[in-house]
Amino acid sequence: MKTPYSAFSLLRGALNGQKHWEPAWRDPEPKASYDVIIIGGGGHGLATAYYLAKVHGIRNVAVLEKGWIGGGNVGRNTTLVRSNYRLPQLHNFFEFGLKLWHGLSDDLNYNVMFSPRGAMFLGHNDGDMIKLAERGDAMRCDGIDAELLTPKQIAKIEPLLDLSRTARFPIDGALIQWRAGTARHDAVAWGYARAADALGVDIIQKCEVTGFVKDGNRIIGVETSRGRILAGRTGICVAGHSGHVAGLAGLRLPIESQTLQALVTEGVKPMVQSVVMSQSLHFYISQSDKGGIVMGGDPDNWPSYARRGQPTIKEHAIAQAVTCMPALSRLRMLRTWSGVTDMSFDGSPIIGPSPIDGLYLNAGWCYGGFKATPASGWTYAHTLATGKPHALNAPFSLERFMTGATIDETSVGPFPNHR
Amino acid sequence: MYQITCPHCGPRAQTEFTYERTTDSVVDPAGDAQTAMQALYTRANPMGLDDEIWRHTYGCRAWMVLTRHRVSHEIHAVKAIGPEALP
């Protein structure tokens, strides 16, 4: 049993020079076989392992990570957490996750610094406002909070937005979800890793999967850079590299990998209270607890695994954000980064069994995977434990693309580069 | 940012071009529904070379096929397509 993180532990440590702390997770050698192998030690993979052990009692589990945990997309996002989708399959799934977020720090005994500060979508014209009202109505029908704001109400929350009628992008209103917010991304990976490890899960870093071990049409394990490891069930959970890893098993997915960029400014005093997003333009900003303004925009709209973005795309997002909130123009950019996103062909994720026995898929999160971490882990754990999808991820099967039951929030069709 | 050599205009900034889709995702009008769905809804998405259809949208507006590396972004070949490519 690990020493719990608490004020009492800290006080106790004060008497012995804080020497009683141990590493947050072990660094085990891989065993020859496991009940379940999860490929990918990101937020989703670690959450899946945690819920497999905690909810389903399956503790003979390995999480294989080719780099280090928290080094992929869970450390490369803009940390936004929300459930304000219009389609019921999506908002019910993300709302289940949002409820888990609200109790996550206590559940993991790790402060994930979840900050439900409110997330608003701006409306710039009558059409936007109709769409936002429709989205809010759809959410409230399923018991999810949503509130339409007038420009006057917005001014009270975000006084620095340009709410004048002469603005380049006039703001007619917004839809806010108060229970949405941000979380500390690294802490989410570390918290899940520590909690899963305490339940017996092996987290194996620097272990790249290079192929699958097949017995007929059944996957019975993986070949890795640290040798062959057998498994009862194998789950792919590798975000932007889903196409590549599934390709090792001979699958072609409805996924194209693209680069998504984000950036952060120097730290300043509080100036952005909530999460401000515009979907008609495409930018989103929030202020981190350190004071930096975290900002993102469109993906680079062509396929790439490079993890380096094109500056003009970034410039686009910055221009939009500065136009809507002119005070941002005075800030200096501190850092930029990119991640590889798995853009699915209807904008929604894929969680469920694959066409190959023993192999399961958790992929296609596009640019919205971070907020899904707890719900994704919960439902994928259920799928891996029982072999069948949970009610919440049943709509997100791979077959939906062949049967025409796509879940296309933006009605774009099978063109991830137009999304 | 990189340059793409348009078969008609020569080397130009990448921002003048837009990506459309890969060549294996073009639907064959003579094919059956199953192959059409395969073309529309699946991709090889390799961590290596793939043949991609791009357009010089903010230039001469011609279509072309790039053989491009998905990690290094290196362009191995550019081929004109459409009526412009006819002799």
pLDDT confidence of residue A144: 98
Contact B21 A304 (CB under 8 A): no
Contact A310 B14 (CB under 8 A): yes
Q: What angle do CA A347, A351, A241 make, to 5 degrees?
A: 70
Contacting residues of A for B22, CB less than 8 Å apart:
303
Contact A302 B45 (CB under 8 A): no
Report yes or no: A117 and A181 within 8 Å, Cβ to Cβ: yes
Name the packing angle between helices A43-55 and A185-198 (round to 10°). Answer: 30
Report the domain count for chain A: 1
Taking the CB of residue A288, how many other CB atoms lie within 10 A of it?
A: 19
The pLDDT tens digits of the residues spanning A28-67 come to 999 999 999 999 999 999 999 999 999 999 999 999 999 9
Q: Is residue A190 part of a domain?
A: no
Contacting residues of A for B40, CB less than 8 Å apart:
345, 414
Q: Which comes out higher in pLDDT, residue B37 or A93?
A: A93
Q: Is residue A265 part of a domain?
A: yes
Of A255, A301, A305, the CB nearest to B70: A305
Q: Is residue A21 part of a domain?
A: no
Contacting residues of B for A306, CB less than 8 Å apart:
70-73
* Reported confidence tier of residue B83, pLDDT bands at 50, 70, 90: confident
Among B38, B41, B56, B71, which would you mutate to test the A interface (most chain A Cβ atoms within 10 Å of its Cβ)?
Answer: B41
Contacting residues of A for B44, CB less than 8 Å apart:
243, 247, 252
Q: Is residue A14 part of a domain?
A: no
Closest among A50, A48, A46 to A71, alpha carbons compared: A46
Q: Is residue A96 part of a domain?
A: no
Residue B86 pLDDT exceeds 80 = no
pLDDT confidence of residue B85: 66
Closest among B44, B29, B33, B27 to A402, alpha carbons compared: B33
pLDDT confidence of residue B58: 96
Strands B10-13 and B3-6: antiparallel
Of A253, A255, A414, the CB nearest to B40: A414
Of A257, A302, A401, the CB nearest to B19: A302
> Mean pLDDT score of chain A, rounded to an integer?
96
Report yes or no: A299 and A259 within 8 Å, Cβ to Cβ: yes
Q: Is residue A51 part of a domain?
A: no
Q: Which residues pair with A235 in a beta bridge?
A: A38, A360
pLDDT confidence of residue A130: 97
Its domain, for residue A309, covers 116-182+257-340
Give whole-number Cα distances, A390 to A97, A351, B52, in Å: 13, 10, 37
Q: Which residues pair with A51 in a beta bridge?
A: none
Of B1, B20, B73, the CB nearest to A312: B1
Total H helices, total E strands in chain B = 1, 6
* Secondary structure in 3-state letters for A176-218: EECCCEECCHHHHHHHHHHHHHHCCCEEECCCCEEEEEEECCE
Q: Is residue A365 part of a domain?
A: no
Closest chain B C-alpha to A307 CA, distance in angstroms: 8
pLDDT confidence of residue A3: 85
- Tell me the mean pLDDT per 10 residues along chain A, length 419: 87 90 95 98 98 98 96 95 97 98 97 97 97 98 98 98 96 98 97 97 98 96 98 97 96 96 97 96 95 94 92 94 96 95 96 97 95 98 97 97 92 83
Token readout for B74 is 């290196």
Structural fold of domain B3-25+32-85: Folate-binding fold (3.30.2270)
Contact B37 A302 (CB under 8 A): no
Residues counted in chain B = 87
pLDDT confidence of residue A40: 97
Closest among A51, A107, A46, A42 to A383, alpha carbons compared: A51
pLDDT confidence of residue A250: 95
Contacting residues of B for A303, CB less than 8 Å apart:
19, 22, 45, 50, 52, 70
Indicate which CATH number applies to the domain containing A274. 3.30.9.10
Residues 27-86 of chain B whose Cβ lies under 8 A from any Cβ of chain A: 37-38, 40-47, 50, 52, 54, 70-73
* Reported confidence tier of residue B84, pLDDT bands at 50, 70, 90: low
Strands B75-80 and B63-69: antiparallel
pLDDT confidence of residue B67: 97
Contacting residues of B for A345, CB less than 8 Å apart:
40-41
Contacting residues of A for B72, CB less than 8 Å apart:
306
pLDDT confidence of residue A197: 97
Contact A306 B44 (CB under 8 A): no
